[in-house]
Structure 1
Amino acid sequence: MTTAARFSVSTTALSRLALANIVANVMIVVTGGAVRLTASGLGCPTWPRCTDASYTATPEMGLHGAIEFGNRLLTFAVGIVALAVVVAVLLHRPRRRGLLPLAVAVLLGIPAQAVIGGITVLTNLNPWVVGLHFLASMVVIAVAYVLWRRTTEPDGPAVLVVPGPLRTLAVITTVVSAAVLVIGTWVTGSGPHAGDGGAARNGLDPEQASQIHADGVFLLIGLSIALVFAFRAAGAAGPARAALVLVAVEAGQGVIGYVQYFTNLPALLVGAHMLGSCLVLLATLAVLRSTRERRPATSAHDAASTHDAPTESAAPVAV
């Protein structure tokens, strides 16, 4: 047995590690929300140290210091998972194209997130920087999702499995989903959960920001329902199931959003809403990915001849 074969990583192991990568990055969002919702955002009042004299929280800093420092420590755990994925990709045989850049991007996203988190502390939890911190996490989660899906795909061209206009509709839905996430940070930045009693708000009217956010959610749900019926009409069962899951996740997220709004934003529900945001993003990406599939590497003629889904063209698409 060769050395390469002895230390190779199977596709199953790699896929599980990549899935753990997603879970870890979702959890750092949830724990980051816990820091904010417990008013522990300045539990460690500086960065990269926790205090001017110590990298760790001290007993005098109390619970807020412990919560903030604990979240910083969790960043290292997330980084270890991301590093393990990079190593697994290097040891995987045969190595699929595109996996290494994706794995490295996720790994580099961890320290980038830490730096943005440090800036939030140094700017006294500026709400716009806090929003950027959340959105950067969404980008890392999105890349981690693409990496996970790629671990089990062949290296052939990506071929549409739905008509081109439906692929376009899925792209539009994804853009609207991203916009809803961005507007959601405006709502949070205008609301009562500043992360610390002395932190500023963004100055937007909370009710107006919430209404704009709700309008975006209504549009997103409408597009998602349209995708369900359009995919079914086109005979695309897989994409239709993915769109139905997206609608279900959006419905759950919408219920949480309305309940938290009418109950004065209890911290527990706001935390659940942050988790829901991650799930909506993942479900949206699942719909977009379901509109095409990769086939084993063959000639373009072979790829076209084996394409039996209801599409306008079997030409490879870059995604």
Structure 2
Amino acid sequence: MHAAAARIRTLSPIHFLQLSLASCAALFLVVTSGAFVRLTGSGLGCENWPRCGDKPYPEQGFHAFVEFGNRLVAVVGLVLTLVTWLGARRVERLPTRARYAALGAFLVAAAQIPMGAITIALDLHPLAVMTHFLLALIVVALAVVVSVEAWSLVSGLARPAGPRWLRRFVTWVGVPACAALVVTGAVATASGPHPGADEDVKRLGLEIADTVYVHVRVAAAFGIGVLFIGWFLWRLRDRYPGLLRLWWALLAVLVAQAILGEVQYRSALPWGLVLVHVFLAASIWALSVALTYAFWRPPAALASTGRQ
């Protein structure tokens, strides 16, 4: 009886991996729907929070339904981060760091609720909107860490990849460079023609040409770093072929993002292209975090060296 009760309380690694991936997918949807709210000018579709006007739900109007839909998507993401954290507590042999990452993802996702209310109360001040977006990416990063750990639990854990200095370079140079890429992109978006609402919204007061100038150069520096890392991964391809495939995925998305960025800028930033640009930015961030973490704790599925 005690053994049966223990099995009920325990969550299998494969089910936890599926749960963590579902959480990641939901969080990507949150980022995308949040960008959709801004780009369609629906940020003040519901002028208060958590209600939408005098009712707890929107009665009419495209912008109101878009904003309220984003709130519902955010709730789904929050619930999945909570369930993932609760599930992490029931998975045997899951490292403590993964449990903390799952808890962190839930707490930051929960912090998005008051942050959303503050953003509306401040009439979509660009700094509040950027904070809202960047917090969402922090949640994504933590969820990615949980997913990589869950993958290692299913497939086994291989030895750290490459020399220690390379892993440190990827961690302390690569990730901050990617963060700078995302932040400068957020500043460029905040300086563009999509303030988030039809009403007069306070802007940063920066010229879009200046912010894009900085963003492009940060992107170039990050791209050089990605190529540098890829050269070492090519040398490690026999031992860590999966890491090289992960790097190829990052490079492909980065190239697509660069092309799209150029096209959207020369096309006067149509909101549809900007929306895809935001989604690809989140993808680059998630892939960078996954690759960095996998350098230190690679799932055996990414390596040919077997388990530790």
TM-score, normalised via structure 1 length: 0.86
Per-residue CA shift, 1:133-165, capped at 9, x if unaligned? 1100010000000011112335x9995320123
2:39 matched residue in structure 1: 37
Instruction: Tell whether 2:62 aligns with 1:58.
Output: no
Please list, as runs of the form range in 1=range in 2, the aligned pairs for 1:149-298 lying within 5 A after superposition.
149-153=148-152, 160-171=160-171, 172-197=173-198, 198-234=200-236, 237-238=240-241, 239-293=243-297
d(CA) in 1 for partners of 2:10 and 2:240? 36
Q: 2:181 corresponds to which letter in structure 1? A: V
Aligned-residue offset at 1:174: 1.5
d(CA) in 1 for partners of 2:94 and 2:235? 38
Moved more, 28-37 or 96-105: 96-105
Aligned-residue offset at 1:95: 4.5
d(CA) in 2 for partners of 1:295 and 1:54? 49
d(CA) in 2 for partners of 1:16 and 1:230? 31
Per-residue CA shift, 1:232-285, capped at 9, x if unaligned? 235554433332221111001111111110001111110001100111011111
2:68 matched residue in structure 1: 69
2:29 matched residue in structure 1: 27
Per-residue CA shift, 1:10-46, capped at 9, x if unaligned? 1111001001111101100101111111111000112
Aligned-residue offset at 1:3: 0.8
Any stretches of 5+ residues in structure 2 without a counterpart? none
- Structure 1's 32 and 84: CA in aligned 2 closer, same or farther, altered over 3 A? same
Q: 1:131 corresponds to which letter in structure 2? A: M
d(CA) in 1 for partners of 2:202 and 2:165? 45
Q: 2:55 corresponds to which letter in structure 1? A: S
Aligned-residue offset at 1:7: 3.9
d(CA) in 2 for partners of 1:46 and 1:37? 19
Secondary structure of 2:36's partner? helix
Secondary structure of 2:56's partner? coil
Aligned-residue offset at 1:226: 1.3
Q: 2:4 corresponds to which letter in structure 1? A: T
What is the percentage of aligned positions where both structures have the same residue? 28
Any stretches of 5+ residues in structure 1 without a counterpart? 297-307, 310-319
- Structure 1's 200 and 88: CA in aligned 2 closer, same or farther, altered over 3 A? same
Aligned-residue offset at 1:83: 2.1
d(CA) in 2 for partners of 1:6 and 1:68? 39
- CA RMSD, aligned part only? 2.5
1:312 matched residue in structure 2: none
d(CA) in 2 for partners of 1:251 and 1:58? 43
Q: 1:100 corresponds to which letter in structure 2? A: R
Contact 2:102/2:143 (<8 A) preserved: yes
2:48 matched residue in structure 1: 46
Please list, as runs of the form range in 1=range in 2, the aligned pairs for 1:96-111 lying within 5 A after superposition.
96-111=95-110
TM-score, normalised via structure 2 length: 0.89
1:124 matched residue in structure 2: 123
Per-residue CA shift, 1:76-111, capped at 9, x if unaligned? 211221222123223323444333322222112222
Per-residue CA shift, 1:193-250, capped at 9, x if unaligned? 0011221211011001001000011111111111111222355544333322211110
d(CA) in 1 for partners of 2:240 and 2:93? 31
Contact 2:37/2:43 (<8 A) preserved: yes
Tell me how many residue pairs correspond in the alignment.
297
d(CA) in 2 for partners of 1:246 and 1:216? 16
